Amino acid sequence: MKAIQIQQYGSPEVMQIQTVPDLSPQSGQVLIEVKAAGVNPVDTYIRSGSYALKKDLPFTPGFDAAGIILRVGSGVEDLSPGDRVYTSGSLTGTYAQQTLCLASQVHPLPENISFEQGAALGTPYGTAWRALFQRGRALSGQWILIHGASGGVGIAAVQIAAAAGMQVIATAGDEDGRRLVKEQGAAHRFDHNDPRHMDEIYQLTQGVDVVLEMLANVNLDRDLDIMAKGGRVVVIGSRGRIEIDPRKTMARELNICGLMLMHATPEEKKEIYAAIENGLAAGKLNPVIAQKRPLDQAPRAHHQIMQSPHRGKIILLPQ
């Protein structure tokens, strides 16, 4: 089969398409024919070698994919060859024509969701759900600011929060992004590049209950100015350092909490992916694809995902 291989950490160009041996499932594993693979920012951090998680070289990147089960190992129940599925993690990487997963990383993909959309589910929707409910403790009717809503996680969060009856405020860096997040259910939209946007959000809400923060190194100190009493900032993304005034957390007893999807417990993951299954079945979740590229264009996809503007997910097509 064809797979992207990384022989050494470095720039996107270290990713090269190669022919590698077909895979075979061991006990408890599932072999999937990949129809589409999702590109996530974390794939770029791991590829560069700057991330805490280091993989043994050579390796195939990627956690998210959708496709059809080819074979299952012994002990795997409730999953069968021919099933349409998506992944939330992979043992062998998803930028490939085949991927091996643990059974717990494989979830049913309904007929009304395309393979490309399925490849946009695992990390973005898992992160958004964990951020809103497991870390942010967000409730119906509350003000939710999705600070950076035009990308994979942000669009997922807008759809999930709107479906849960929250008052959704979303930011994007340009007009097309703001139009997109409006279509996904964001009642109020702002430009995160406009220095006035945080004052305007405070005027609208008189205090935001939960902020999902995609770029904490830019926004965290200002987030603390616009929170309601007892509000929570969930740090999802951060690409550097920032100075904050800790006194801002005292007067309104604010909480700043980090999120790492891979730290969800097995029970929490079950809760997350069962909720996503329900949301898909109810027609409330509908991943937005920005671009599809053939697998050998993985380097271009990695350059692109690190640049604005964003309009949903970048997908690789291995066939």
61 binds ligand NAP, rule: CB under 6 A? no
Report how far residue 4's alpha carbon sits from residue 308's, in angstroms, rounded to the nearest whole number: 25
The binder of ligand NAP chosen from 148, 231, 279, 287 (CB under 6 A): 148
Identify the residue among 47, 135, 147, 232 touching ligand NAP (CB under 6 A).
147
Token pair recorded at residue 155: 């669009």
Q: Which of 310, 315, 316, 318 binds ligand NAP (CB under 6 A)?
A: 310
Report the residue from 72, 158, 233, 305 that binds ligand NAP according to the rule CB under 6 A: 305
In 3D, which of 180, 174, 179 has the Cα closest to residue 152?
180
Among 86, 125, 82, smallest CA distance to 108 is for 86
Query: How far apart, in whole angstroms, are the C-alpha atoms of residue 96 and residue 37?
Result: 8
Distance between CA atoms of residues 197 and 176, nearest Å: 17
Please name the residues in contact with 133: beta carbons below 8 A apart, sequence gap of 6 or more: 275
Applying CB under 6 A, which of residues 166, 261, 275, 295 lies at the interface with ligand NAP? 261
Region near ligand NAP per CB under 6 A, out of 47-55, 148-156, 244-252, 295-303: 148-156
Classify the C-alpha dihedral 176-180-181-186 as positive or negative. Answer: positive
Q: Residue 99 CB, nearest distance to ligand NAP (Å)?
A: 19
The interface region with ligand NAP, picked from 40-48, 59-67, 82-90, 293-301 by CB under 6 A, is: 40-48
**Residue 259 touching ligand NAP (CB under 6 A):** yes
Distance CA 257, CA 14 (A): 34
Interface with ligand NAP by CB under 6 A: which residues?
A: 40-42, 123-124, 127, 147-154, 171-173, 177, 192, 214-215, 218-219, 236-237, 259-261, 305, 308-310
